[in-house]
Chains A and B, each alone.
Chain A
Amino acid sequence: MYLILKGCGILSVFKDLWWFFKQEKRSYLTGFVALLILAILDLVPAWMVGQVVDLVNTKQLTYDHLLQYALMLIGLGIVAYICGYLWRISIFGAAYRLGRLLRDRLYKSFTKMSPQFYHKQRIGDMMAHSTNDIQAVTMTAGEGVMTLTDTVVLGGLVVATMAITIDWQLTLLAVLPLPILAYCTNRYGKLLHKRFHLAQKAFSTMNDKVQESMAGVRVIKAFGQEDDEKKEFGGLLDDVVQKNVAVARVDGLYDPTIIILMGISTLITIAVGTLKVLDDTITVGQLTQFTILLGKLIWPMLAFGWLFNIVEKGRASYDRVNILLTTEPQIQDLPDAVAEIPTGDIEYKVEQFQYPEAERQTLEDVQFSLRKGQTLGIVGKTGSGKTTLFRLLLREFEGSLAKVFINNRPIDHYQMSYLRRAIGYVPQDHILFSANIAQNIAFGNPEATQEQIEAAAKVACIHEDIMQLPQGYETVVGERGVTLSGGQKQRVSIARALLLNPEVLILDDSLSAVDAKTEHSILHELRMNRSDKTTMISAHRLSAVEEADLIIVMEDGRIVERGTHEDLMRLGGWYKEMYESQQLESLIMEGGR
C-alpha cells in the first residue's frame, strides 16, 4: 500500500512527460500494442503444455493435435519476433528521440545564458545535467514505460489467467510471497544507489589523485616522491575495492532473493496443488501449466521494483533539466532595440556598478569618452576594475547606474548580436577550441578565406609560429591536439578577434604572455592596420599602453589618473611611479656607467 501511494507521487513524471507521449502517440501506441500481444503470446506455450500433458495423461493425444500445436507455436514465434522487435524500436526509439530533443534544447538554452549564469554554475554540474539527467529521463520514457506496461499488463494477465482458467485460491496463495520480491527489489535498488554513489566517489578521488600525480610529475620527481605516491595511491585503491565490494554485496542479493521466494511460491503451489488434483478441482496438466505461469511472474515483479528506481531518478532529473530549460537569460534585448552595428564615439557614464551578489561595488564614478578611432589604455592593479569596464561594454553584465553609449545611443538600445558584432574581444584567459588553427582564427567568420586568416595571423605576429608547426594552419590545437604556449595562444586569440576587423578591439591584458619584442611588433601592426578603428587595451606592462590617446589609471574601481602618457608622467602619480619602477633598472644602469 505504501509503495502504491508513494508510487502515485513518483509516477507523476509520466504526467509531466505527457506532452511528449502525445507528440509520439504513434510510437507509444505501436509499442504498447506490441507489448500487449507479446504478453498474451507469452501465456500460450504454458497453456499448450498443460493441454498436451492432460492429453497424454488421458491418452487422447493424436498426430493432428501435435501438428496443430507445432504450427501454432511456430506462428507464435514469428509474431513474437515481430512484436519484440517492434516495441523496442517504437518505445526505445521514441525515448532516444526525447533524449536528443532535450539535449538540443539544453544546449540552446546554455548558449543564451549570460555570464552571470556561468559564474554561479559549475561546468561539471552542467555536464552532469546534460549527460546523466537526460539519460535518466530517457530511461523513464523508455525502460520506465516498458516496465510499467509489463508490470500492469503482463503481471495482470498472468494472474488473471491463473485465477480464471485454473484456480483462484491457488493463485492467491502462490502470489502471496511475490509482493515481498517487489519490495526487496525496490529496497535493494535504493541501497545499491547509495553504495554505488560512494563507490563513484572513491573512484573519482582516485581519479583526482592520478590527475594530480600526472600534472605534478616534475615536482614528484624533483623531490624523489615516486614511492610515496605509489603508497598513497595504494591506500586510495583499497578504498575503491572496499566500496565496490560493498556494492557487490547488495547487487548479489537479487538472485538469491528470487530463488528463495520463487522456491516458496512453487512449494506452496505444488503442495496445495496436489490436494486440488486429489480433489479433482484441477488436473495435473493445469498444475504443470500453473508452475510455468508462476515462473512468468518473476519478470513483472522485478520490473515493478525496477520501475520505481527508474522513475524516481527520472523524476528528480526531469525537474533539474526543466529548471535549466525554463531559466531566462538575465540580459535580454530591449523590445525596441535597433538592428544595426554600432559605430562611433564610445562614452562611459558609470555612477556605480556592483556585481550581482557582490558585497561591495566594483566601479564607482567612472566617466570618460573615446572618439572613434582612438586608442584607450587602462592600467591599474589586479582587481581594480579593468575587466569590468570591458564586461559592461560587451553587455555581459549591466547595471542601471552603469551606462555605456556608442554614437550617443545607450548600448542596450542595440540588439545584442549587433553590438557584439562591433566588438572584437581578446580575453585574459585564452580559450581555443578543438579544431585546427585556421578554424580557430576564423571562429567568428567560418567563411573567411585563407588569405584573410593569414593576414590576421600576421598582424598578431603568430604567422611565423604557425608555419613552424607540423601541419601549419591545419595543425589541430586544444585538448586533443598540439599544445601551444601561453603566448602563442594569446596571439591566436588576437588574430581571431582581428579577423573580424571589428569597430572596437578589446585587448584585456592579452599581451601578458608575449615577450616585449613581440608585444612591440603587435602594437605596431595594430597601429598600421586599424587607423580609424577604436582599440581598448588593458595591461600590466605600461609599455603596452604608452602610445594610447587616453590612458586611465584605475584603483579600487575609480579612475585616479587620466591623460596621455606625457600628461601622466607630468602628473607624477601612480602611473609615473609605476613607470619609473619598471624603468628603475635602466636608471641604475645609466648611473653605473
Chain B
Amino acid sequence: MSTTARRLIRYLSPHRSYFWVAFAFLLVATAADVFAVPLAAKYIDEMVSPRNFDPTWILIYGGVFLGLHILSAILHYYQLVRFHTLAQWIVRQIRTDVFARVQHLGLSFYDKKPTGSLVSRITNDTEAVKDLYVEVLASFMQNAIYVIGVFTALFALNWRLALVTTFILPIFWWLMRMYKKYSSVSFRKSREKLSAMNAKLSESLGGMNIIQTFTQEKRLREEFGQLNHEHFKANLRNVQLFGLLLRPASRVVYALGLVVVLYYFGILSFDGAVTIGEMFAFINLFERVFEPFNQMMMRLAPMQQSIVSAERVFELMDDTETAPIKEGEGNPEIITGEIEFRDVTFSYDGETNVLKNISFKARPGQTVALVGHTGSGKSSTIQLLMRFYPLVQGTILIDGEPLETFSDEELRSKMGLVLQDSFMFYGDVKSNIRLHNQGITDEQVREAAEFVQANMFIEKLPKGYDEPIGERGATFSSGQRQLLSFARTMAIDPKILVLDEATASVDTETEEAIQLALNKMRKGRTTIAIAHRLSTIQDADLILVLHRGEIVERGTHQELLAEEGLYHKMYLLQTYGTNLEVVQ
C-alpha cells in the first residue's frame, strides 16, 4: 500500500467506533436485502408449487418479507448518512491540518507559490479527497459488501453452481483493470482541457477590450475553438471507453453467466433434483451482482484523480519551510524600542545576496528612512526586522537582545507594520481595525481611528464603524484603506513602527491626511520607514540610501543633499522630472 493510502486510512482511526457501527449497519442491511430472496424462494417451493394455500403462512411470509425490506431500508439509510458524515469529518480534519500548516509556513514559501495554486490545494484538492472518502466509504465498500453478500447467499443456495459462476469475477477484474488504465488517461485529459478552456475564457473576458482594440477576436476564437474541440474529443473518448468496457460489456458477461446457470439447472432438472424456488432465488440473486460491479467500475477513474489530489495535499502538509520561531532561553520584552542591525547579509535563494553587510542603529523614538530603487533591498530589510525570514548572517538587536529570542506575541504586539497595499479583510470597519484581538474594545477602535483621523470618513459611512467591507475593500478609496490600516496598527499601540510607504497615487486631500497621520504615529515610536517620495522623510533622523543591497549613503536629508551623491540625484529626478539635464 502506498504511503498516501496509509495516511488516508490513519485519518480514519480517531473515528474507529463510529466507523464500525456504520459498518455493522451496512452488513445487517445487506444481509436483510439478500435474505429476502431465499425467503421468496422458500415461499415458492412450500406454498406456490405444492399449491398449499394457508392464509396464516402467507401472512407470516408476507410480514417477514416486508419487515426485512423495511429493516434493510432503514439501516441502509443510516449507514449511508454515517459514512458520508464520517467522510466530512475526516476532510474537515485534513483541511484544518493543511490550513494550520500553511499558516505557519514562512514567507519564503509564499514567495515561491502563487496564491491561486495554494488556495486550490486547500480547497479543491481536499474536496477531491472528500470525494475519495465518500466514494470509498459510502459507495465502493457498499457495493463490494453487496457483491460479497450475494455470493455468500449463492454459495449457501448451491455452492457448486456458485463456484462455477465465479468465473465472472476474473472477467470483471480484467475489465476493471483495462478501464482503469485507459480511462485515467482520458479523464485527466478531459479535466485538463476543461480547465485550460476555462482559463482561456476567463482571461479573454477579463481582457476583452485589449483583444478588441488589437483586433485579435478571430485568432482568439480559433484558439478557443481548438481547446473546445480537444475537450470534446476527450469527452468522446470517455464515452467510447465506457461503452466498450463498462455497462455494455457487463451485459455480455451477464448473458454468459445466465447460460451457465440455465444449463446447470436444466441438466439437474433431468434428474428432478432441482426446485423452482431454488432456481428463482439463484437467478434473481445472480442478476443482482452486476449493478454493483457497474457502479464500482464507474468510480475507478475519479478515484484515481482523487489519489493524485491527496498526494498534492500531503505534499503541502509536509513542507518544512516553517516561519522562524523563538529560539533560546529567557523572555525579553521590548521596552524602549531601540533597533540595531549588525552586519546583516541576506539571500532568499542562498545564491544572490539581496542585502550585504547592513549595519545601522535606530535609537528609541528615532525615525530611520530607507530609500533606493526597486530591488535595492529596502523591503528585505523590513521583512527581516519583522522576522518573516530567518536571519543567516549578522544580528538584529532590539533593546540589545537578539531578534530570535523574542516570543512571537511580544514581537507582534510591540511592532506595528503598515504595508504598501492596505489589505482589507471581509467583515466590517471595526473588525478590520481590531482584527481578531478581542482585547481591543470598541472605545479603543474609535480612539485608534480618531488618532489617524480615519474617523472623519468612517463617521460619514451609513453604518459608521459597522459598515461592511467586502471584496477587499473595493468600495473604499486607496487613501481610505491606508488610513484604516494605520488605525489597525495604532489599535495595538506598538513601540516600534515599520512603514512601507504606498506608491499608489491618491488625491491631494487624502495625501495630506495620510502625511498628518504618519507624523502623529511616528511620535514617540522608533520608526523604520521605506519612502518612495523623498519629501515625506525630510525630518528623519537617519536616511539610509540603499543600492543593490548595500548602504551607499547615510545621513540626514541636508547632509545627504550636501553630499551630492545618489540621494541628491534621486531627489533632483523626483522634483525636476524630465528637466534633469537642464538642472545639471
Contact = CB atoms under 8 A, between A and B. Distances in A.
A130 B194 CA distance: 11
B62 A267 contact: yes
B141 interface: no
B107 A221 contact: yes
Interface in B34-92: 36, 40, 43-44, 47-49, 51, 53, 58, 62, 65-66, 68-70, 72-74, 76-77, 80-81, 84-85, 88-89, 92
Interface string B83-127: 011001100100110011011100100100011101100110001
A249 B217 contact: no
Contacts of B51: 277-278
Contacts of A231: 436
A375 interface: no
A225 interface: yes
A487 to B, nearest CB: 7
Interface in B185-229: 197-199, 201-217, 219-221, 224-225, 228-229
Interface majority SS on A: helix, strand, loop or mixed? Answer: helix
A279 B319 CA distance: 77
Interface in B222-243: 224-225, 228-229, 231-232, 235-236, 239-240, 242-243
Contacts of A431: 206-207, 210
Contacts of A103: 197, 228
B276 interface: yes
A48 B255 CA distance: 12
Nearest to B503: A513
B89 A241 contact: yes
B199 A223 contact: no
A74 B488 CA distance: 78
A437 B102 CA distance: 32
Contact of B92 (A65, A100, A241): A241
Contacts of B85: 241, 245, 248
Interface string B158-188: 0000000000000000000000000000000
A515 B534 CA distance: 13
A284 B284 contact: no
Contacts, number: 401
Contacts of B573: 515-517, 520
Interface in A121-166: 123, 126-127, 130-131
Given A56-B266, A96-B235, 5 more contacts: A222-B415, A267-B62, A382-B507, A433-B203, A546-B578
Contacts of A417: 215
Interface string A218-248: 1111111110111111100110110011001
B221 A111 contact: yes
A93 B236 contact: yes
Interface string B245-261: 00111011011101100
A110 interface: yes
Nearest to B219: A446
B206 A123 contact: yes
Interface stretch (B11-19, B353-361, B406-414, B442-450): B406-414
Given A81-B249, A214-B115, A421-B215, A248 B65 contact: no
Contacts of B472: 212, 215
Contacts of A372: none
A210 B122 contact: yes
B40 A270 contact: yes
Contacts of A210: 99, 118-119, 122-123
A89 interface: yes
Interface string A89-131: 1001100110110011001101111010010000100110011
Given A218-B419, A240-B92, A284 B276 contact: yes
B73 to A, nearest CB: 4
Interface stretch (A257-265, A453-461, A530-538): A257-265
